[in-house]
Structure formats: C-alpha cells, structure tokens
C-alpha cells in the first residue's frame, strides 16, 4: 500500500496482521466494515454492495459493510461460505475515547468452531478435525486424527492406517480440517476422493 495511511487504517492493519487467513469484521460506529480483499469476499458471500473508502495519501480501498445489529444475519453467511471470521469490536465508548477508539477481536468463528444457532444443524455434529501423517517403519503410513464438536463438548482421537482416512472422514463429515502447512500437499492428495468439501485451515 503506497503513501501514508490514516490512523484508523493503521489500527485496522495492526489488528488484521494478528489474524491471518480470516475476514476481519471491523466495528466502526453502528457498522461492521471489511476492507480490501476481505471486502471483496464479504460482498460476494453476503450479497452486499462493494464500495470504496478514502485512505488518505494511500488512495482508496475496497469497502463492504453492514449494520452491527445484523451480525447474526451476515456472520453465518460468511462462515457457511467457508471463511474464518474475526469479530473486532469497539472496546470503549467512542464519546469518551481520546483519539482512535480502542478496538480488539472478541471472537473468531470458523466452519468447525461455531456456537451460533444459525450455523448449527441439530440433526448432525459440527466437527472440527485435526490431521497429522506419520511415516512408520517399512514404508507404512499412519494418520493421527483428533476430532471435536465444541457445541456439544464431544471429543475423541485415534490413529489408523492412512488408507482409511477418506472412509473415516466420510463417516464424520467434518466442517473444518486443521492441517500443518508442511503437510498441506500430502493431505490434499489424500482428500481428492472425498465427496464432501470441508473448509481447510493451515496452521
């Protein structure tokens, strides 16, 4: 981003850097706003208008937002589209703030970690699963899997031959998979036969 940015944009950028891979819903007065690539994704997922905001000498930046009281309507749309969402609230009364209002992320919602009623199906679990491959002796590969449904408190873990991974995931139908960045390619190759399309988070 060229040129000098506004103090508000600087604050936004600092918070955004702490939550890579998420759409940051940034509270501005009575609205939640998204900027740049987040704005493009939000406008597409939520069916709202993409506009622009003046960013001082740095020029204009894409913008998409909605009234804060409609969070329960738009947040589920973003998560169901497969996005991780960080909700950034104002942490002090704007009328009493000196300079820029203090803001911070109060929750992060992902496809596999959600407690919103509109995101949960009462007829099935909402699993988030973590996968790790391990090379055993004699070229035998196994996979470790940990699975949890935070809405019910259910948790289990196990280890089994890698060739059974697709079958296990088909039976669990997780909404989100957590994988190591170093094993991203290996996991993707194994999941090509999956009929489901869980959101994938690289850590």
- Tell the residue number behind the tokens 């203090």, with chain if given: 102
Contact partners, residue 189, CB within 8 Å, separation at least 6? none
Phi first, then psi: give them for residue 139, nearest 5 degrees: 65, 15
CB 130 within 8 A of CB 146: yes
- In the chain, ranges of CATH 3.30.420.110 domains: 128-202
pTM: 0.73
Beta strand spans in 8-116 (E) = 22-28, 31-35, 51-54, 60-67, 84-90, 103-109
Residues in the chain: 203
- What span, in angstroms and rounded, lies between the C-alpha atoms of 122 and 101? 39
**Mean pLDDT rounded to a whole number for the chain:** 85
Within 10 angstroms of residue 105's Cβ, the number of other Cβ atoms is: 18
Q: Domain 128-202 adopts which CATH fold?
A: Nucleotidyltransferase; domain 5 (3.30.420)
Q: Domain 7-109 adopts which CATH fold?
A: MutS, DNA mismatch repair protein, domain I (3.40.1170)
The pLDDT profile of the chain, 203 residues, written as one tens digit per residue, is 445 778 888 999 999 999 988 999 999 999 999 999 999 999 999 999 998 876 555 567 899 999 999 998 899 899 888 899 999 999 988 888 888 889 999 988 888 876 666 666 677 888 999 998 887 776 668 889 999 998 888 999 999 988 898 899 999 989 888 888 777 677 777 777 788 888 888 87
Q: Is 81 left (phi over 0), alpha (psi -120 to 50) or beta?
A: alpha
CB 25 within 8 A of CB 88: yes
Q: What is the pLDDT of residues 51-77, one digit of tens each?
A: 887 655 556 789 999 999 999 889 989
The tally of CA atoms less than 13 A away on the side-chain side of residue 140 is 8
Q: Is 73 left (phi over 0), alpha (psi -120 to 50) or beta?
A: alpha
Q: What is the pLDDT of residues 167-192, one digit of tens each?
A: 999 999 898 888 887 776 777 777 77
- What span, in angstroms and rounded, lies between the C-alpha atoms of 94 and 29? 8
- In the chain, ranges of CATH 3.40.1170.10 domains: 7-109
């Amino acid at each position: 981003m060229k040129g000098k940015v506004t103090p508000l944009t600087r604050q936004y950028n600092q918070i955004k850097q702490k939550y890579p891979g998420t759409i940051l819903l940034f509270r501005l007065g009575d609205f939640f706003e998204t900027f740049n690539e987040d704005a493009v994704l939000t406008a597409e997922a939520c069916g709202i208008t993409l506009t622009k905001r003046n960013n001082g000498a740095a020029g204009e930046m894409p913008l998409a937002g909605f009234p804060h009281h409609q969070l329960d309507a738009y947040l589920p749309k973003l998560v169901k589209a497969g996005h991780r969402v960080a909700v950034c609230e104002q942490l002090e009364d704007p009328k009493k703030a000196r300079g820029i209002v203090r803001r911070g992320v109060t929750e992060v919602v992902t496809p596999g970690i959600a407690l919103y009623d509109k995101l949960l199906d009462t007829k099935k679990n909402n699993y988030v699963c973590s996968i790790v491959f391990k090379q055993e002796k004699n070229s035998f590969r196994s996979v470790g899997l940990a699975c949890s449904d935070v809405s019910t408190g259910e948790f289990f873990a196990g280890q089994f031959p890698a060739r059974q991974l697709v079958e296990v995931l088909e039976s669990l139908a997780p909404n989100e998979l957590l994988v190591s960045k170093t094993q991203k390619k290996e996991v993707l190759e194994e999941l090509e036969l999956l009929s489901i399309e869980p959101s994938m988070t690289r850590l």
